[in-house]
């Protein structure tokens, strides 16, 4: 290993992606949107000192990652928290790490660099979505437990406090806004990031 920073991007599958939008967008459109957000994340975070993996078991996601030259990590465990814990345990020789949800549409190269810099300087870095989720989490301390699921932000913070782990919350919209439901999608359409405008013009 000759890189200092590792990023894991969990993607459950392309079979039923972004299920809260299933009544509003076709499966084809949801898959296309998820792929575009994933590619934007990878473009923003990629650097010569960073390794990026998609955490998934889905053959369709694995095939797609091969096409875009992105490594995948297939855990033997089940459930997001367990799979992420496995990923971090296997990749704990880096100087810092991040777990990032794929549905963060407003990440740019500037904010990606800012996040990575902050991870090198803080034990734990975390953001909170509107429903108290954890869109992005990282730092220089490698933790062994993750608390994804309902109210994951509060559960993560409670865990950090119980373990006396210092953490810093990041409030930037670019690192906390997720396309999770119809209101989020409407916001995306209203305030389109550059990558979205580019694909609409293709």
- Cα separations in angstroms, 185 against 44, 55, 107, 196: 21, 24, 15, 12
Q: Mean of the pLDDT values across residues 105-134? A: 98
* pLDDT tens, position by position, 173-194: 999 999 999 999 999 999 999 9
At 197 the pLDDT is: 87
- Report d(CA 184, CA 196) in Å as an integer: 14
Using pLDDT thresholds of 50, 70 and 90, give the confidence band for residue 2. confident
User: Between the CA of residue 133 and those of 18, 81, 108, 156, what are the distances in Å?
Assistant: 15, 13, 21, 10
Domains identified in the chain and CATH numbers: 5-197 (3.90.550.10)
Measured CA to CA in angstroms, residue 32 lies from 46, 62, 180 at distances of 21, 15, 15
- For the entire predicted model, the pTM comes to 0.96
With contact defined as beta carbons under 8 Å apart, do 31 and 17 qualify? yes
pLDDT beyond 70 at 162: yes
Residue 157 neighbours by CB under 8 Å, 6+ apart: 126, 167
DSSP 173: G
- How much is the pLDDT for 75? 97
């Amino acid at each position: 290993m000759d890189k200092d920073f590792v990023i894991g991007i969990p993607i459950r599958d392309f079979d039923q992606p972004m299920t809260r939008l299933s009544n509003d967008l076709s499966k084809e459109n949801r898959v296309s949107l998820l792929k575009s957000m994933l590619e934007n994340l990878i473009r923003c975070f990629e650097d010569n000192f960073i390794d990026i993996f998609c955490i998934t078991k889905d053959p369709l996601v694995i095939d797609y990652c091969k096409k875009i030259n992105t490594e995948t990590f297939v855990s033997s465990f089940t459930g997001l928290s367990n799979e992420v814990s496995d990923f971090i345990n296997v990749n704990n020789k880096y100087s810092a790490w991040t777990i990032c949800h794929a549905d963060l549409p407003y990440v740019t190269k500037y904010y990606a660099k800012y996040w990575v810099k902050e991870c090198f300087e803080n034990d734990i870095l975390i953001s909170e979505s509107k429903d108290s989720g954890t869109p992005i989490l990282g730092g220089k301390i490698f933790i062994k437990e993750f608390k994804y699921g309902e109210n994951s932000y509060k559960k993560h913070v409670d865990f950090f406090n119980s373990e006396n782990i210092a953490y810093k919350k990041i409030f930037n919209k670019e690192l906390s806004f997720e396309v999770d439901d119809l209101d989020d999608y409407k916001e995306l359409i209203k305030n389109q990031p550059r990558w979205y405008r580019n694909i609409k013009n293709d």
